[in-house]
Protein backbone atom coordinates (compact mmCIF):
# COMPACT_ATOMS: atom_id res chain seq x y z
CA UNK A 1 0.00 0.00 0.00
CA UNK A 2 1.18 3.52 -0.79
CA UNK A 3 2.38 5.27 2.34
CA UNK A 4 1.03 8.65 3.49
CA UNK A 5 3.50 11.29 4.62
CA UNK A 6 1.85 14.40 6.07
CA UNK A 7 3.47 17.73 5.27
CA UNK A 8 3.02 19.95 8.34
CA UNK A 9 4.26 23.22 6.81
CA UNK A 10 0.78 24.78 6.96
CA UNK A 11 0.56 24.17 10.70
CA UNK A 12 3.80 26.12 11.07
CA UNK A 13 2.39 28.88 8.85
CA UNK A 14 -0.57 29.28 11.18
CA UNK A 15 1.70 29.34 14.24
CA UNK A 16 4.00 31.92 12.71
CA UNK A 17 1.11 34.24 11.80
CA UNK A 18 0.52 34.97 15.48
CA UNK A 19 3.80 34.18 17.18
CA UNK A 20 4.11 31.91 20.17
CA UNK A 21 3.65 28.17 19.83
CA UNK A 22 -0.02 27.68 18.94
CA UNK A 23 -0.59 25.41 17.13
CA UNK A 24 2.30 23.32 18.37
CA UNK A 25 4.21 21.99 15.38
CA UNK A 26 6.00 19.27 17.31
CA UNK A 27 2.74 18.01 18.81
CA UNK A 28 1.14 17.99 15.37
CA UNK A 29 3.86 15.65 14.14
CA UNK A 30 3.27 13.37 17.12
CA UNK A 31 -0.48 13.38 16.48
CA UNK A 32 -0.20 12.74 12.73
CA UNK A 33 1.83 9.62 13.43
CA UNK A 34 -0.52 8.53 16.21
CA UNK A 35 -3.47 8.91 13.85
CA UNK A 36 -1.89 6.69 11.20
CA UNK A 37 0.42 8.76 9.02
CA UNK A 38 3.44 6.71 7.94
CA UNK A 39 5.70 9.72 7.64
CA UNK A 40 6.18 13.40 8.39
CA UNK A 41 7.34 15.87 5.73
CA UNK A 42 8.72 19.36 6.28
CA UNK A 43 10.08 21.90 3.81
CA UNK A 44 12.20 24.56 5.51
CA UNK A 45 12.77 27.57 3.26
CA UNK A 46 15.47 30.22 3.60
CA UNK A 47 13.07 32.83 5.03
CA UNK A 48 11.59 30.29 7.52
CA UNK A 49 8.10 31.56 6.76
CA UNK A 50 6.61 28.26 7.87
CA UNK A 51 8.84 25.43 9.11
CA UNK A 52 11.88 26.85 10.88
CA UNK A 53 15.25 25.19 10.92
CA UNK A 54 14.91 24.76 14.68
CA UNK A 55 11.61 22.94 14.12
CA UNK A 56 13.49 20.30 12.16
CA UNK A 57 15.78 19.64 15.14
CA UNK A 58 12.82 19.63 17.54
CA UNK A 59 10.81 17.19 15.42
CA UNK A 60 13.52 14.65 14.65
CA UNK A 61 13.55 12.96 18.13
CA UNK A 62 9.80 12.28 18.10
CA UNK A 63 9.68 10.66 14.67
CA UNK A 64 8.61 7.03 14.97
CA UNK A 65 7.82 6.55 11.26
CA UNK A 66 9.81 8.27 8.51
CA UNK A 67 11.12 11.82 8.35
CA UNK A 68 11.23 13.48 4.92
CA UNK A 69 12.90 16.88 4.55
CA UNK A 70 12.28 18.74 1.30
CA UNK A 71 14.25 21.67 -0.01
CA UNK A 72 16.65 23.27 -2.40
CA UNK A 73 20.15 21.96 -1.64
CA UNK A 74 21.96 25.19 -0.83
CA UNK A 75 24.76 25.19 1.72
CA UNK A 76 22.52 25.83 4.74
CA UNK A 77 20.04 23.13 3.75
CA UNK A 78 22.78 20.59 3.23
CA UNK A 79 24.31 21.38 6.61
CA UNK A 80 20.89 20.84 8.20
CA UNK A 81 20.06 17.51 6.61
CA UNK A 82 23.55 16.07 7.03
CA UNK A 83 23.31 16.95 10.72
CA UNK A 84 19.74 15.70 11.27
CA UNK A 85 20.02 12.66 8.96
CA UNK A 86 16.32 12.15 8.12
CA UNK A 87 15.06 8.99 6.47
CA UNK A 88 14.71 10.80 3.17
CA UNK A 89 15.72 14.10 1.59
CA UNK A 90 13.62 15.30 -1.33
CA UNK A 91 15.47 17.76 -3.54
CA UNK A 92 13.37 20.50 -5.14
CA UNK A 93 14.51 23.21 -7.55
CA UNK A 94 12.71 26.08 -5.80
CA UNK A 95 14.19 29.57 -5.98
CA UNK A 96 14.24 31.33 -2.56
CA UNK A 97 11.21 33.51 -3.36
CA UNK A 98 8.94 30.63 -4.44
CA UNK A 99 5.61 30.50 -2.61
CA UNK A 100 5.41 26.78 -3.19
CA UNK A 101 7.10 24.21 -5.40
CA UNK A 102 6.06 24.80 -9.00
CA UNK A 103 8.40 22.79 -11.22
CA UNK A 104 10.53 19.68 -11.30
CA UNK A 105 14.26 19.37 -11.94
CA UNK A 106 15.75 19.40 -15.40
CA UNK A 107 17.87 16.37 -14.59
CA UNK A 108 19.86 16.62 -17.82
CA UNK A 109 20.85 20.27 -17.40
CA UNK A 110 21.58 19.77 -13.68
CA UNK A 111 23.24 16.37 -14.03
CA UNK A 112 26.58 17.23 -12.43
CA UNK A 113 25.05 19.29 -9.63
CA UNK A 114 22.50 16.63 -8.68
CA UNK A 115 25.01 13.78 -8.96
CA UNK A 116 27.33 15.46 -6.47
CA UNK A 117 24.56 16.38 -4.02
CA UNK A 118 22.99 12.91 -4.13
CA UNK A 119 26.36 11.22 -3.64
CA UNK A 120 26.93 13.32 -0.52
CA UNK A 121 23.52 12.43 0.89
CA UNK A 122 23.87 8.74 0.13
CA UNK A 123 27.29 8.66 1.74
CA UNK A 124 25.54 9.88 4.89
CA UNK A 125 23.02 7.02 4.63
CA UNK A 126 20.11 9.24 3.60
CA UNK A 127 17.61 8.04 1.00
CA UNK A 128 17.23 10.56 -1.80
CA UNK A 129 14.28 11.61 -3.91
CA UNK A 130 14.14 14.33 -6.54
CA UNK A 131 11.12 16.35 -7.64
CA UNK A 132 10.44 15.83 -11.36
CA UNK A 133 7.78 16.37 -13.98
CA UNK A 134 6.62 13.65 -16.35
CA UNK A 135 9.03 14.41 -19.20
CA UNK A 136 10.65 11.03 -19.79
CA UNK A 137 14.06 12.59 -20.40
CA UNK A 138 13.95 13.85 -16.82
CA UNK A 139 12.97 10.40 -15.56
CA UNK A 140 15.89 8.87 -17.46
CA UNK A 141 18.14 11.61 -16.11
CA UNK A 142 17.02 10.86 -12.57
CA UNK A 143 18.39 7.35 -12.89
CA UNK A 144 21.67 8.70 -14.23
CA UNK A 145 22.26 11.06 -11.27
CA UNK A 146 21.86 8.21 -8.80
CA UNK A 147 18.73 9.10 -6.86
CA UNK A 148 16.84 6.36 -5.04
CA UNK A 149 13.42 7.75 -5.86
CA UNK A 150 11.61 10.40 -7.84
CA UNK A 151 8.70 12.48 -6.60
CA UNK A 152 6.24 13.18 -9.38
CA UNK A 153 5.10 16.82 -9.35
CA UNK A 154 1.34 16.33 -9.49
CA UNK A 155 -0.05 19.87 -9.76
CA UNK A 156 -0.75 19.47 -13.51
CA UNK A 157 -2.66 16.27 -12.76
CA UNK A 158 -4.71 18.02 -10.07
CA UNK A 159 -5.52 20.97 -12.33
CA UNK A 160 -6.68 18.79 -15.25
CA UNK A 161 -8.39 16.11 -13.18
CA UNK A 162 -11.88 17.68 -13.14
CA UNK A 163 -11.94 18.20 -16.91
CA UNK A 164 -10.64 14.80 -18.03
CA UNK A 165 -9.12 12.55 -15.44
CA UNK A 166 -7.97 9.93 -17.94
CA UNK A 167 -6.02 12.49 -19.94
CA UNK A 168 -4.76 14.10 -16.73
CA UNK A 169 -3.18 10.92 -15.43
CA UNK A 170 -1.81 9.55 -18.70
CA UNK A 171 1.64 11.15 -18.60
CA UNK A 172 2.02 10.32 -14.92
CA UNK A 173 1.37 6.63 -15.55
CA UNK A 174 3.93 6.67 -18.37
CA UNK A 175 6.50 8.41 -16.18
CA UNK A 176 5.90 6.05 -13.27
CA UNK A 177 6.23 3.01 -15.51
CA UNK A 178 9.53 4.33 -16.90
CA UNK A 179 10.82 5.00 -13.39
CA UNK A 180 9.84 1.51 -12.32
CA UNK A 181 11.66 0.03 -15.32
CA UNK A 182 14.76 1.97 -14.29
CA UNK A 183 14.60 0.65 -10.72
CA UNK A 184 13.57 3.95 -9.14
CA UNK A 185 11.15 4.26 -6.26
CA UNK A 186 8.15 6.50 -6.91
CA UNK A 187 6.72 9.20 -4.67
CA UNK A 188 4.15 11.84 -5.62
CA UNK A 189 3.02 15.15 -4.26
CA UNK A 190 1.57 18.62 -4.79
CA UNK A 191 -2.14 19.48 -4.84
CA UNK A 192 -3.23 15.93 -4.13
CA UNK A 193 -6.54 15.83 -2.27
CA UNK A 194 -9.47 13.63 -1.33
CA UNK A 195 -10.96 14.46 -4.72
CA UNK A 196 -8.12 13.13 -6.87
CA UNK A 197 -5.94 10.85 -4.74
CA UNK A 198 -7.79 7.55 -5.15
CA UNK A 199 -7.74 7.71 -8.93
CA UNK A 200 -4.01 8.43 -9.05
CA UNK A 201 -3.33 5.54 -6.68
CA UNK A 202 -5.53 3.20 -8.72
CA UNK A 203 -3.61 4.07 -11.87
CA UNK A 204 -0.18 3.89 -10.21
CA UNK A 205 -0.65 1.27 -7.49
CA UNK A 206 3.09 0.76 -7.05
CA UNK A 207 3.80 4.24 -5.66
CA UNK A 208 5.89 4.15 -2.52
CA UNK A 209 4.65 7.36 -0.91
CA UNK A 210 2.50 10.44 -1.33
CA UNK A 211 3.34 13.62 0.54
CA UNK A 212 0.29 15.79 1.22
CA UNK A 213 0.03 18.99 3.20
CA UNK A 214 -2.15 21.87 2.06
CA UNK A 215 -5.37 20.00 1.26
CA UNK A 216 -5.02 17.59 4.18
CA UNK A 217 -4.49 20.33 6.77
CA UNK A 218 -7.34 22.35 5.27
CA UNK A 219 -9.66 19.33 5.44
CA UNK A 220 -8.62 18.78 9.05
CA UNK A 221 -10.00 22.22 9.97
CA UNK A 222 -13.47 20.87 9.17
CA UNK A 223 -13.20 17.17 9.94
CA UNK A 224 -10.46 16.94 12.56
CA UNK A 225 -6.94 15.64 12.03
CA UNK A 226 -7.59 12.03 13.01
CA UNK A 227 -10.61 11.54 10.74
CA UNK A 228 -8.91 13.37 7.90
CA UNK A 229 -5.82 11.19 8.00
CA UNK A 230 -8.04 8.10 7.99
CA UNK A 231 -9.88 9.37 4.91
CA UNK A 232 -6.62 10.01 3.04
CA UNK A 233 -5.30 6.58 3.97
CA UNK A 234 -8.56 5.03 2.72
CA UNK A 235 -7.75 6.55 -0.69
CA UNK A 236 -4.52 4.56 -0.76
CA UNK A 237 -5.93 1.11 -0.14
Predicted confidence (pLDDT) per residue in 4-38, tens digit: 999 999 999 999 999 899 999 999 999 999 999 99
pLDDT for res 94: 77
| CATH number for 166 | 3.20.20.70
Q: Does the structure show a pLDDT above 70 at 177?
A: yes
**Total structural domains in the chain?**
1
Cis peptide before 23 (omega within 30 of 0): yes
Which positions are catalytic?
A: 43, 70, 190
Structural domain boundaries, residue 213:
3-234
Q: Does pTM surpass 0.85?
A: yes
% of the chain residues with pLDDT over 70: 97
Q: H helices then E strands: how many in the chain?
A: 11, 8
pLDDT for res 142: 98
Predicted confidence (pLDDT) per residue in 117-139, tens digit: 999 999 999 999 999 999 999 99
Amino acid sequence: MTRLSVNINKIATLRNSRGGNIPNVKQSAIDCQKFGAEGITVHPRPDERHIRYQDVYDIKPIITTEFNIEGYPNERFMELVLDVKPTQVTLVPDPPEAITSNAGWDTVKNKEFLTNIIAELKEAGIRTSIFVDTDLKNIDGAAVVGTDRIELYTEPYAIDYEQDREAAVESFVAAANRAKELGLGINAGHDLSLANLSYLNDKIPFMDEVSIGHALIADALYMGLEDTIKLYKDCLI
